[in-house]
Amino acid sequence: MSDAVDRGRRLLLGAALSGVAARAFAQGGASSPPLRRMEPLKHVDAGVLDIAYYEEGPADGPVAILLHGFPYDIHSYVDVAPQLAAQGCRVIVPYLRGFGATRFRDPATLRSGEQAAIGADVIALMDALNIRRAVLGGHNWGGRAACVAAALWPERIRGMVTVNSYLIQDLTRAGVPISPKYEVALWYEYYFQLERGRAGLAAHRREIARLLWKQWSPAWNFEDATFERSAAAHDNTDYVDVVIHSYRHRFGLAAGDPRYAELQRRLATMPPIPVPSITLDGDKDGVLPASDGRASAAKFTGRRIHRVVRGAGHNVPQEAPKAFADAVMQLMRD
């Protein structure tokens, strides 16, 4: 065999092996770098909860509190937090009640997921960490928590970024039907009213979460590892109870926690949000279609800017982290 032929065969073999390695890397094989995790976590006693949270950035910086939704977790902000920290912000990303390492401090406490509870949790966290004022950022349940906090405790909120605009629920209209083409996207809300739905969530929490991720963000090609990193937060022993209570309470089929009754009464008036706000819609959102923001304009009595984020679905902070971080920083600078 000539040296030239031998060299040629070695080059072909090397190229073939390189192609295999490249495909393994692209497919998340053993050579793929590990996904960044928001660790280590800190804990603080905050009212009814022991809240687990991630913190990044200088301790003396202006505070941004970033609030995740269902069925997501703190990693919705895995690429937002470092952008804000790099610009001098103290970034705090808590696990909501029923998610991750957050726990109820008393076994007897109702595992409520009502909107007053998740809003009050934000203020309880701020009190526990001695934070006087903060910019809030949120989507889905986290956006609702931010809206509740901004409407009921505006003196504590420097500004607010939310996805899908004004998210305080008008419980008096929960039974009013909407167009069937939008109702179909809310199948999970109706499923969770049944005990079959509770059993389904308990048995298939990952399958349900993955299905919702895909339906709500049809243009987001997330990897299995990205999903699993967040889905682990749904193994919290209170997850099913909190989720089921949230969806049954909003339809008037579950009583609220009496400790939040006065807050719920105030929320029933659909209070406006007086703090500076930036609202974002993803133009690929599969559950809440993007809008021009005019339908909710009257609910923002402070300065409000509305933007449509191109290419993003329902999970805007994870799908378009720069757009979300830029909105938070705009409020920080104003």
User: Which of 146, 174, 172, 178 has the alpha carbon at shortest distance from 161?
Assistant: 146
Quick count: other Cβ atoms within 10 Å of Cβ 59? 7
DSSP 208-270: HHHHHHHHH-TT----HHHHHHHHGGGGSTTHHHHHHHHHHHTTTSSPPPGGGHHHHHHHTT-
The C-alpha atoms of residue 189 and residue 243 are separated, in whole angstroms, by 10
Cα-only R_g, the chain: 22
Residue 201: per-residue pLDDT: 98
- Does residue 71 contact residue 235 with C-beta atoms inside 8 Å? no
> Which residues, 6 or more positions from 297, have their beta carbon under 8 angstroms from its beta carbon?
304
Which strand (E) or helix (H) includes residue 18? helix 3-26
- Ordered per-residue pLDDT tens for the chain, 334 residues: 444 434 444 333 343 333 434 344 344 444 567 899 999 999 999 999 999 999 999 999 999 999 999 999 999 999 999 999 999 999 999 999 999 999 999 999 999 999 999 999 999 999 999 999 999 999 999 999 999 999 999 999 999 999 999 999 999 999 999 999 999 999 999 999 999 999 999 999 999 999 999 999 999 999 999 999 999 999 999 999 999 999 999 999 999 999 999 999 999 999 999 999 999 999 999 999 999 999 999 999 999 999 999 999 999 999 999 999 999 999 999 8
The residues that bridge with 88 in the sheet, in sequence order, are none
The C-alpha atoms of residue 288 and residue 273 are separated, in whole angstroms, by 21
